[in-house]
Structure 1
Amino acid sequence: MIRYTLTCDNDHHFESWFQSGDAFERLLKAGMVNCDACGSAQVSKTIMAPAIPKKEHRSKPDVAEKLAALKKHIETNADYVGNTFYTEARAMHDGEKPARAIYGQADAKQAKSLIEDGIPVMPLPFIPKKQTN
């Protein structure tokens, strides 16, 4: 999609979106581009400056960088419990073990059971690196 700033022969200025530059030219030749104010089909493109994003919008980290930062944060600040995640999470919820941040693996049935019992869990958007203890 492309946005053009247009003007008519009565000096009205308006904007419109087109699928492409070629689509604009075809519609213009067919008399299907009309002024919003007066309906004139004598329309032309005006000089336009390219849309350049502000500096703060250009330097934002992308999704891969955000996922990498999240993974690093979790692996730094939580204990990896591997396949014992279900039993560890349940034991902390039941007060049998002190609460702490953990991550690991649980199958769908285990995760559903934890959620149904009000134990807060969520899937990670990455595969944790296996750690040896």
Structure 2
Amino acid sequence: MIRYALVCDSAHEFESWFAGSASFEDQLRRGLVTCPLCDSKRVDRAIMAPNVARTDRGARAIEVEQEASPAAVPAAPASAAPAALMGEPEIALRQMLTALHKHVAETAEHVGPRFADEALKIHHGESDSRPIYGEATSEDARMLHEEGVAFMPLPRLPGAGN
């Protein structure tokens, strides 16, 4: 068995075990290796520190290598699906949140940290009525609520900002 540090095209880092490098390459080519955070199939090996055996652990390192030889590892069936760290409900929720973020980005204007000011201008008729999104502090949100401005928070994507 071999452990690889992996990274997807969204820079999510994770690790996974494979029977060997050929097994990794085969599963990657068949689209079976996916990011557990965003489900991307654009995955590659990340830079890893080498696992150097110390002399005080030499005998144990040999035992582990023999225990994990490819002959001792049962082959996965050709139709095996990639292992997932999330269940179906979590995957569905992530997909819905991603679709929501995409829809908002395509149909609304991003005003960034000016959200509260711009929302007030629209509410008071000082600016054209249009969908906007951006960032607001809890104080900004409280003030908008007190002014009667209709707004709602946009849930963050899981893993965003981590």
TM-score (structure 2 length as normaliser) = 0.40
Q: Larger radius of gyration, structure 1 or 2?
A: 1
TM-score (structure 1 length as normaliser) = 0.49
| Structure with higher helix content | 2
